[in-house]
Chains A and B, each alone.
Chain A
């Protein structure tokens, strides 16, 4: 079965896949290329955020509002989910179905916890007066982290889908590639968060309004 993308490979009579020109499977190459594309997507938003640092005309500014300890916790949760992802793939590849299933759902849970942190943070910021319409910081912050959150959500849904596949036995060692590409996506989204966390919470945590 195929995951979210259709696949087609030249197959022999007995269904073995003929080696591709590069030796990489089509799906994997597709995912790598897509991630390249997504780098440009997040890169442009992060660049926008950096351009608009210290340029909000009114508060609240990052210095007034960012809570680094809480976000560090959620960052840690997301990092751990990547670890769980590695374990899940390893178990599925070894054919240890139950352990694989457990770790897939661990990723799902950790991802969901991260999303809950984000919901809490957005909600909290809204209460203290920062919305996407407040100032440039609000606009760039919410849109960037919100789109990252959307990526995480998509990943969680995808992994739930694969987790059930693992329970039902349609995700197994012989098509672990489906989990592997989901894993590629998940690690990428994780890495993007590290960059976002660094840029927003670490580098610009003390930012205020424009100088003068």
Chain B
């Protein structure tokens, strides 16, 4: 279907909505941030907000480590402990790793695919504001001393009102539902952006792997989050309105909750780790000065993981009693997922092989990612062995496993990504010296904390216990783990010191400090508002690298497929598609020749808008109203409608009288 949108030359629209507040224009100051629709600014907002929650979640973790460092400790009371581990898990999953990844999506995807913004900039702003308000809503529960206490997995019926009558789990269900809206909106936005907004010539097979992984992650978000939404709605109506989804007295089945939750929960694991894999796949080639090894296998493995991630959820339920047939099937599917994961690890190592490796702090984090993620993967295979998993399930062995995946994996990669793209985003360098120390201490602290926890689990220490008896033999090991935790905290402090120190020193980065390979390094640091003065025409994977080194093109295309593909034509995969893309490219090129040659006079970017934040506020107020009183719901609905209608009647760009 060919789209024939009206241009700005259309007649004025006669249907209108009163503008209570004028359209924002300021490019500086706080209001410019509140009304921004620029993907880079939104990326920064995501990053700052989620880093704040990272600190909060970290403090929650440290409090638990302090409590557990001694047997029979009474420092933190059991209720508080339950709230701490519930909120630590919820925070780190939904308020840290997901939005930190979203920060990278926002900053990088348009830059990597040669676009000027995401497909729906106001929707993008809406995602952020909903995320911000949802996260504040969830954490507001701390202030009234009633934080969620039923675990981040909220197992029914322990989370049911008969056994958990306080307000904490209400904050949890409603807060996560608000956050779910943000995630789904962002996921939809990035699917469309990546499919539709690629620069001419950038076929899917030429996309940077980070963008690929963003795409797979977005698809997973869009398909998995609704399942969580359903689970949460079911629990919410049970808790607030007395329905029976998980009321065992009326026949509600606790196992159903687990199925629904983990049907979301396992794809969620890949939502957390795939962006990290994408980040590492960008860092390794740059600092090895080599193309990514086995690009198509890496991408395919990522897609395969995203697909297979839907068929392994019951491995979270091996002790629930699903029966030997189901457990055997899920054991096999879980073990099978190790194969594409292994392919990724071997290809990353293959990328380093034969390279010219520079140990920048970003590279050190990326290498540690492979090393730590491998450990987490190996312990993951151990869990797939159902009989031995019966001893490990719900013990500290599992805690160690998923921290190796999510901290040693995701967070390490994210720190690598921060060191890698910081110069691009800010225009100045982070101190490499501090970066290396930061990396070293984080790696030591991390292993000191989590390696011993494998042993704790094997020694029979269950998860989620606020204390343990002295004769269990767990005390010394716990003490070591706690010390490691503080070392990790210190490394995060070093990172913050680095940020402040480097911001003062302001060592200019230049456009391409690392000899980068992808499009984002071809523009200035920080990138201009409109990103690309001219939309680039892409011919190769790592297009910017081959622009810098045209003499390497033949070598690159030589060795695979026994020299069959020697020409860098776009015809590598789908002839028709490539031709079509070429046509687009031509059309596009023509358009831009028509633009004035200097500056960006022909670039239209969407205007700023207040409506995303208004709509987000309305949604959150409605959420709060569900827990409190109907008038609050009404107020929220009014705010929400105001945002929605205002948005609908607000053109993307106000007519600019003197434009042309």
Contacts and interface: CB of A to CB of B under 8 A. Distances in A.
Interface of A: 1-26, 28-30, 33-34, 36-38, 40-41, 44-45, 48, 51-52, 55-57, 132-133, 135-136, 138-140, 142-143, 147, 161, 164-165, 168-170, 174-175, 177, 180, 210
A160 to B, nearest CB: 12
A51 B602 contact: no
A37 B219 CA distance: 9
A168 B13 CA distance: 8
B230 A24 contact: no
Interface in B563-613: 580-581, 584, 587-588, 591, 594-595, 602, 604, 606, 609
Given A19-B584, A136-B252, A170-B15, A26 B196 contact: yes
B195 A44 contact: no
A133 B243 CA distance: 5
B613 to A, nearest CB: 13
A121 B121 CA distance: 42
Query: What 5 pairs across the A-B complex have the smallest Cβ distances?
Result: A15-B7, A6-B122, A44-B230, A20-B196, A25-B3
B533 to A, nearest CB: 13
A142 B263 CA distance: 23
Contact of B251 (A38, A56, A143): A56
A96 B330 CA distance: 57
B260 A48 contact: yes
Given A1-B13, A139-B244, A174-B4, A6 B591 contact: no
A36 B222 contact: yes
Given A8-B117, A20-B197, A33-B222, A15 B6 contact: yes
Contacts of B604: 10-11
Contacts of B253: 51-52, 55
B223 interface: yes
Contact of A37 (B6, B222, B591, B651): B222
30 contacts: A1-B13, A6-B121, A6-B123, A7-B119, A8-B117, A8-B652, A10-B116, A10-B604, A11-B7, A13-B591, A13-B594, A17-B4, A19-B588, A21-B198, A24-B1, A29-B191, A37-B222, A37-B223, A37-B225, A38-B226, A44-B226, A44-B231, A133-B243, A135-B251, A136-B245, A136-B250, A143-B233, A168-B13, A175-B6, A180-B1
Contacts of B117: 8
A139 B15 contact: no
Interface stretch (B49-57, B63-71, B547-555, B642-650): B642-650
A38 B227 CA distance: 9
A34 B188 contact: yes
Nearest to B651: A1
B227 A29 contact: no
Contact of A29 (B195, B202, B237, B244): B195
Contacts of A133: 241-244
Contacts of B652: 2, 6-8
B192 A139 contact: no
A13 B6 contact: no
Given A6-B123, A7-B119, A34-B222, 4 more contacts: A10-B197, A14-B7, A33-B188, A48-B260
B241 A132 contact: yes
Contacts of B6: 15, 174-175
Contact of B120 (A7, A36, A41, A169): A7
B196 A44 contact: no
Interface in B4-26: 4-9, 13-15
A211 to B, nearest CB: 13
B82 interface: no
Given A17-B5, A37-B223, A51-B256, A136 B196 contact: no
A133 B237 CA distance: 10
B487 to A, nearest CB: 41
A136 B604 CA distance: 55
Interface in B100-128: 115-123
Interface in B22-50: 37
A29 B196 contact: yes
A135 B250 contact: yes
Nearest to B645: A161
A136 B120 contact: no
A63 B234 CA distance: 24
Most buried by B among A33, A38, A56: A33
A21 B202 CA distance: 9
B414 to A, nearest CB: 26
Given A21-B195, A30-B192, A174-B5, A143 B120 contact: no
B651 to A, nearest CB: 6
Contact of B243 (A10, A29, A143, A168): A143
Contacts of B225: 37
Contacts of B95: none
Contact of B245 (A17, A139, A170, A175): A139
B320 to A, nearest CB: 15
Contact of B587 (A9, A19, A56, A57): A19
Contacts of B648: 1-4, 161
Given A6-B123, A8-B117, A48 B192 contact: no
B196 A57 contact: no
A179 to B, nearest CB: 13
B224 interface: yes
B660 interface: yes
A56 B37 CA distance: 50
B281 interface: no
A136 B591 CA distance: 61
Given A48-B260, A133-B244, A139-B243, A6 B584 contact: no
B606 A37 contact: no
Contact of A136 (B197, B222, B251, B594): B251
Nearest to B230: A44
Contacts of B15: 1, 164-165, 168, 170
A44 B241 contact: no
A105 B4 CA distance: 24
B655 to A, nearest CB: 11
Nearest to B644: A4
B260 A177 contact: no
Contacts of B224: 40
Most buried by A among B187, B192, B223: B192
Contacts of B591: 12-13, 18
A69 B649 CA distance: 43
A24 B13 CA distance: 25
Contacts of B606: 6, 8
A41 B226 contact: yes
Contacts of A38: 226
Nearest to B606: A8
A44 B260 contact: yes
Contacts of A11: 7, 604
Given A139-B244, A143-B237, A48 B230 contact: yes
Contact of B196 (A3, A15, A22, A139): A22
B535 interface: yes
A68 B404 CA distance: 55
